[in-house]
Amino acid sequence: MLITYNSEKKLFHLHTSDTTYVIGIYDEGYLLGLYYGARVTDDDFSAFCCRLPNASFSPADPVIGEHGFSPDTAPIEYGCNGAGDFRISAFSVRGAAGDNVTDLRYRAHRIYAGKQSIPGIPSTYVSDDSEAQTLEIDAEDAVTGVQATLVYTVFADSPVMTKRVIVRNPTENTLYLERVFSACNDFPTMDFDLVTLYGRHAVERTMEKRPLAHGLQGVESKRGVSSHAQNPFAALMRHGATEDAGDVYGFNLVYSGNFSALAECDFNGSTRFIMGINPNDFEWTLGSGEAFYAPEVVCVYTDKGLGEMSRIFHRFYNRHLIRGKFKTEKRPLLINSWEAAYFDFDTDKLLAFADVAKELGIEMLVMDDGWFGKRNDDRSSLGDWIVNEEKLPGGLRPLVDGVHARGLKFGIWYEPEMISPDSDLFRAHPDWHVHVDGRAPKVGRHQYVLDVSRADVRDYIYSMIASVLQNNDIDYVKWDFNRNISDAGSALLPPERKKEFFHRFILGTYDLMGRLVEAFPDVLFEGCSGGGGRFDPAMLCLTPQIWTSDNTDPIERLTIQFGTSLCYPASAMGAHVSACDRTGYKTKGDVAMWGTFGYELDPRKLSEEDREIVRRQVAAYHKYYDLIRTGDLYRLISPFENRFRAAWQMVAADRSSTLFTLVTMRKEENGMCFVRLKGLDPDRMYACAEDGKTYSGAYLMRAGLNVSEVIRRDGESLTLYFSAE
């Protein structure tokens, strides 16, 4: 059994292959989080229940007694507001009396096989009930009557647990949710570094590590999306932990809207970590009989360092998050028109791209922004999803048929959640954009955000997109989102529900995108948000790959892809070769090969020498496709720690082959450089395709490879493929 309940000791044990999570029911129904870490089977955790109960005038429960227990210091499993627990709250409800004191106590529980989906919100899944077990714990506040069901799922094939919360109102009164975080974890020490991913447009997901300090720290987004600025990922690394060893707890929120990931260290030196919907600009009116479903958090623990945490996330997301036809079916190698033509294209130019692309072995042509309305720059026509026949005479059909006739697939760009002030749609429906009455709305990138919290707006956009996809044999859709949300408001929400907007907006996005994905299962959808501004697990439930960044410079891409890889698999990372002249095409291809791979350039302008490099890259893409998509990633040299070079390695799950890549960011004049590989079988022999030599796994991992010549040249790269004999 993955989940057991000891009724005598009132303990829940949640086991994966390598981890254990223990919850206890303490006196008077308090739920305590007693242990999370490497697998144990012991059933005495009494020493974990209480911590210095009278420190700093902490209040005591009057029934339990002043000297034995305080909610301010106990490891409360789901910390609530105002009832004696002064640490950061995961949950707060304002009741009929107007106060927001909340005190959840245990009422009942259920254990069952499998995992249920979350209504309206993407989540991880199982293909068969035998793959997971779920525990639901019902807790209730005796005064307001609000009920919270804490939902935990553990997986048979992964050291992974998911957490989420369902809030119900069984009373006749209206309740108001002020905070409803999805996960709350208490740790008995603060001996951790907090690892997060910050950035901006074109510099996404830069790894940052800082030691926890007393007080509150963390990251969040209030931009309406998960954002370029911060990612809904955080890890707690035990002091001294490394890439290859030590305790690491990883948390990733399956949500695309405003989020918070916060850690608070108290006077006891203990740590509370919470993750979920950002309570800023959030409130939810919960009427009698209604329920609210919070998104889930994916929780990973390992004692084998940051690298193993990443590999656990990667395997788990490839098995239990990404779905649909392209979870397993090979994805086409594409060329995108954006950096080749921007808005300046027509049917003849795109077909000319297709002619050269076909000759090079590329499999799909994607027509990016500019094909609709009067879209000749970024100042108009978003929302007018009607073909511009001045560019594309006769509509899409001649172009699509022409591309297909050349043996290529065809893809198209959309930005469904946006509307231009200069558009027929805006002139017909000026109340359809996100705005607050009486305020002049801010404009970003010459556009407004379309109010997809409204069903009528979603229905209209769905019909426009579905008509194009149904009538033109489209193989791929790039789904973009090029600004954040300001002036957050909807014309249809009454004043008392205005703070529901941000969550309703993202639910609307999931509904619109989900309907299209379901209606067109053979179309490959790729997410995008000005590059990587909405790179989160919820998007991966709907789009199996996401454009990692608009920055295609291969040297800049190293930190972006290293940071992204902390929790997101290579199969999800859109990575292309562009015409950027900072390095040669070999290095561009070696860096892009880490991800889904493709091109962003005018193929007609390639020299014959560069065309031959592209042909070799296309062959390598097919040769290494399965290894990169399903293999284990080992980060060998991090650009966050080494300013001269970066190196990584993909290893087949059965350790039968590996692909090693090294890139020199800037030359190092002096010194030798040896790189030790990882993840191989020390007792097997591995043949190197490039030098014809054979090495033992032990030699490659302990003696290493001499890469001294490569590191002395700026922008150079080296790839070596080894296969077991």
Residues 316-340: tens digit of each pLDDT: 999 999 999 999 999 999 999 999 9
Residue 661, CA atoms < 13 Å, CB-side half-sphere = 28
pLDDT, tens digit, for every residue of 679-693? 999 999 999 999 999
* Chain Cα centroid distance, residue 500: 23
Does the active-site annotation cover 550? yes
- The alpha-helical segments, DSSP class H, found in 204-329 are 305-320
pLDDT at position 47: 81
Q: What does residue 153 show for φ and ψ, rounded to 5 degrees?
A: -125, 135
477: nearest Cα among 516, 507, 535: 516
Contact between 306 and 199 (Cβ < 8 Å): no
Q: What are the structural domains, with CATH classification, of the chain?
A: 51-65+78-320 (2.70.98.60), 325-630 (3.20.20.70), 635-724 (2.60.40.1180)
pLDDT at position 143: 97
CA distance 239 to 66: 35
CA distance 504 to 506: 6
Encoded tokens for 539: 């998007």
Let me know if 74 is exposed, middle or buried by CB neighbors in 10 A (0-12, 13-18, 19+): buried
- The alpha-helical segments, DSSP class H, found in 268-323 are 305-320
Distances (CA, A) of 160 to 250, 251, 253, 257, 497: 10, 10, 13, 23, 36
CA distance 480 to 492: 25
pLDDT of residue 542 exceeding 80: yes
Bridge partner residues of 448 (DSSP):
419
84, 89, 93, 97 alpha-carbon torsion, rounded to 10°: 30
166: nearest Cα among 269, 80, 292, 54: 292
With both helix axes pointing from N to C terminus, report the angle between 554-564 and 585-592 in degrees, rounded to the nearest 10.
10
CA distance 237 to 654: 28
b/e code 494-514 from CB counts within 10 Å (16+ = b):
eeeeebbbbbbbbbbbbbbbe
pLDDT averaged over the chain? Answer: 96
pLDDT of residue 368 exceeding 90: yes
Residue 599: DSSP 8-state: E
* Chain Cα centroid distance, residue 316: 13
* Chain Cα centroid distance, residue 390: 39
Q: What does residue 483 show for φ and ψ, rounded to 5 degrees?
A: -165, 160
pLDDT, tens digit, for every residue of 203-252? 999 999 999 999 999 999 999 999 999 999 999 999 999 999 999 999 99
Segment 302-323 shows an average pLDDT of 98
pLDDT at position 711: 74
368, 373, 377, 383 alpha-carbon torsion, rounded to 10°: -80
CA distance 31 to 627: 44
b/e code 345-378 from CB counts within 10 Å (16+ = b):
bbbebbbebbebbbebebbbbbbbbbbbbebeeb
Contact between 183 and 276 (Cβ < 8 Å): yes
In the chain, count H helices and then E strands: 12, 39
Q: pLDDT grade, residue 62 (50/70/90)?
A: confident
Residue 172: DSSP 8-state: S
Encoded tokens for 128: 């068969």
CA distance 173 to 290: 11
Bridge partner residues of 200 (DSSP):
203
Q: Indicate which residue of 550, 590, 610, 632 is catalytic.
A: 550
What is the H or E stretch that residue 411 is in? strand 409-414
Contact between 303 and 207 (Cβ < 8 Å): no
SS3 25: strand
Q: Where are the beta strands (DSSP E) in 533-615?
A: 545-547, 573-574, 577-578, 598-600
SS3 622: helix
Contact between 351 and 404 (Cβ < 8 Å): no
CA distance 539 to 123: 10
Strands 598-600, 334-336: parallel, antiparallel or unpaired by DSSP?
A: parallel
Residue in the structure block whose two tokens are 């019909």: 463
How many other CB atoms sit within 10 Å of the CB of residue 214?
11
Encoded tokens for 698: 């032990």
b/e code 198-210 from CB counts within 10 Å (16+ = b):
bbebbbbbbbeee
pLDDT at position 490: 97
SS3 16: coil
Encoded tokens for 710: 């490569």
Segment 656-673 shows an average pLDDT of 90
pLDDT, tens digit, for every residue of 439-461? 999 999 999 999 999 999 999 99
Strands 104-113, 91-94: parallel, antiparallel or unpaired by DSSP?
A: unpaired
296: nearest Cα among 120, 442, 141, 170: 120
Q: Indicate which residue of 72, 480, 536, 590 is catalytic.
A: 480
pLDDT of residue 264 exceeding 80: yes
300: nearest Cα among 308, 291, 309, 311: 309
CA distance 510 to 518: 12
Lowest mean pLDDT among 267-271, 298-302, 389-393, 649-653: 267-271
pLDDT of residue 505 exceeding 80: yes
Does the active-site annotation cover 480? yes
How many other CB atoms sit within 10 Å of the CB of residue 648?
23
Q: pLDDT grade, residue 65 (50/70/90)?
A: low
Contact between 525 and 542 (Cβ < 8 Å): yes
SS3 499: helix
Polymer length in residues for the chain: 725
